[in-house]
Amino acid sequence: MGTAAKTEILIAGAGAVGLLAGLSVARLGRRAIIVGRIETRRLARTVALFDGSIRLLQALDLWPRLAPHAAPLARMCIIDDTGSLFRTGPAFFEASEIGLDQFGWNLENADLIGELVREVQAHPNLTLIDGLLADVSFADDHVAATSEEGHAFEAQLLVAADGRHSLGRKAAQIDVREWTYPQIALTALLAHRRPHQNTSTEFHTRHGPFTLVPLPPKDGQNRSSLVWMMTPEEAERRKALTDADLANEIERQAQSMLGKITLLVGRGIFPMQGMTPDRFADHRILLMGEAAHVFPPIGAQGLNLGLRDIAHLSEIIEENISTDIGDATPTKAYDERRRNDVATRSWGIDLLNRSLLAPYLPVDFMRGAGLVGLSLLKPLRHFTMREGVTPQFGAPRIMRAARTRS
């Protein structure tokens, strides 16, 4: 092992959160090394980025590169397909109601990662290393780490964006609360005969949401992404189906609203879990992305919450420009700012998901009444929409800034 490579910030994880964290701190003049496995294969996964996240990407001058890969989410539709006695009609939400052209944009994860990797590799303040950290230790004035490939690093701060099994989090002895759901998420990319009209549709079923999210057309085909929550038994059965048979089941569940459906790029199977840490920062470490919060893919909150992690870090760096970024003041500030936001989102998603799984009339009634309230009470409806896509309470300034409609 040679001399340790020294930097201000060491970032563990080369997924979207790790790469964006690097670009964000580099924009503020900080030097960072990113260590992680670079995944650019075209898997059946997409990311929906809401308006606040788009503002962050615009501030980083990244959005012009990403926009051609994305489809706008101008309308959302929620359909109660639970079979409940208190079943309500479809609820529609228009971005124009809250002064936006779209709630956000949806794009393939491979396109996002590919563009971010190119940006990171071109930035003079950033070094990207394709590998994994094997060991992390903390001293009074620095954090030290080694990779599986034998590289050594020394930094003022470790940003742990290395997923739910984070090595950095374990090294800092940050405890977590974990739980599981009796659900599996099946993901796929679809082609379909009818246009999606830039509408994201979420069917609430007894086993969880079945969600269709628009993608831009490609090769003359209308496209959408699918996230379908189901029981483990149904996941095993559907995993064994041919593409044609699975497409037929998807079309039936979608009530043929998109016409004839065909599968494009494979399919993914992911067990549903939840996790929150007992703190989001400690001595010379910050937690981000799935190292800091894991919950089911309901309401597309996951990566958007990770981008708020990044925006808070940028805000704290700007407030402590001459400070050792790994000392107690910045890390304590980060921990305090992330607690309420993550707790509120995790609690809300957990509550909604469990309400779909609970076959009890009082629960059905409360869920149905809530959906009716959102449909009929405009102040509540508009507040909920704004907080879902452009949070104001506790949101970083860069994600709250006013933006004119295009």
Which pLDDT score, from 0 to 100, does residue 340 have? 87
Task: Among 3.40.50.150, 3.50.50.60, 3.10.450.30, 1.10.287.1400, name the CATH number for the domain at 5-178+274-400.
Answer: 3.50.50.60
- The Cα–Cα gap between 274 and 183 comes to 12
Using the predicted structure, report yes or no on whether residue 169 has a pLDDT greater than 70: yes
Band of pLDDT at residue 22, cut at 50, 70 and 90: very high
Among the listed residues 305, 306, 326, 308, the one whose alpha carbon sits nearest the alpha carbon of residue 317: 326
Sequence ranges of the domains in the chain? 5-178+274-400
Q: Average pLDDT of the chain?
A: 88
Residue 324 Ramachandran class (φ > 0 left, ψ -120 to 50 alpha, else beta): beta
Among the listed residues 384, 241, 257, the one whose alpha carbon sits nearest the alpha carbon of residue 249: 241
55-101 confidence digits (pLDDT tens): 999 999 999 999 999 999 999 998 888 765 556 778 888 888 888 89
Tokens representing 62? 């990244």
Question: For residues 215-235, b (16+ Cβ closer than 10 Å) or e, as one string?
Answer: bbeeeeebbbbbbbbbeeebb
The percentage of the chain sitting over the pLDDT mark of 70, rounded to a whole number, equals 85
Q: Which of 51-55, 195-199, 347-351 has the lowest mean pLDDT?
A: 347-351
| Region 217-239 average pLDDT | 94
Band of pLDDT at residue 360, cut at 50, 70 and 90: very low
Better-predicted residue by pLDDT, 121 or 181? 121
| Region 274-282 average pLDDT | 95
Which pLDDT score, from 0 to 100, does residue 289 have? 96
Quick count: other Cβ atoms within 10 Å of Cβ 169? 26
Strand, coil or helix: 2: coil
- The Cα–Cα gap between 68 and 62 comes to 11
- The Cα–Cα gap between 134 and 62 comes to 31
Rounded to two decimals, the pTM is 0.89
Quick count: other Cβ atoms within 10 Å of Cβ 164? 16
Question: For residues 278-308, b (16+ Cβ closer than 10 Å) or e, as one string?
Answer: ebbbbebbbbbbbbbbbbbbbbbbbbbbbbb
Among the listed residues 199, 302, 300, 307, the one whose alpha carbon sits nearest the alpha carbon of residue 254: 199
- The Cα–Cα gap between 301 and 294 comes to 10
Which pLDDT score, from 0 to 100, does residue 404 have? 38
Which pLDDT score, from 0 to 100, does residue 141 have? 94
* Amino acid making up residue 279: R
Which pLDDT score, from 0 to 100, does residue 405 have? 40
Q: Which of 101-110, 142-151, 379-388 has the lowest mean pLDDT?
A: 379-388
Q: What share of the chain is helix, strand, coil (3-state, %, to 5)?
A: 40, 30, 30
Which pLDDT score, from 0 to 100, does residue 406 have? 36
Could you say which DSSP state residue 97 is in? G
